[in-house]
Amino acid sequence: MHRCLYIQEILHVIFSQLDVHQRVPVHAEPPRTESSLRTLAALARTCKIFTEQALDILWSEIPNPYFLVKYLLPEDTVRYTSTSLVCLSVSPQKH
């Protein structure tokens, strides 16, 4: 990895550009795009150096606790229904 990516301020500028909001009427609060949230969550899990800045930006605006679970937990540990969100624990497999 290029050594400039070890500088937290540079990562913050780069990751901030990924925090994209959808276009909405001027008077409304623009929601964040799902792809933006997915990208930031993936960056947070990619490398220890990326984690702090990606999580700071990802968590800077949380519209609903649903997003916390949806994007940060592995897909096989969460079940979604039309009315609720259920977190399941995964048992380690014995060999």
Look at residue 95 and tell me whether its pLDDT is greater than 60: no
CA angle 20/47/19 to nearest 5° reads 5
Instruction: Please give the pLDDT value at position 61.
Output: 76
Over residues 37-85, the pLDDT tens digits come to: 888 999 999 999 999 999 998 888 776 777 667 767 777 776 666 666 5
Residue carrying the six token digits 């014995």: 94
Over residues 4-45, the pLDDT tens digits come to: 899 999 999 998 888 776 665 565 556 778 888 888 999 999
Q: How far is CA 82 from the centre of its chain?
A: 22
For residue 78, the SS3 value is strand
Contact 88, 77 (CB under 8 A): yes
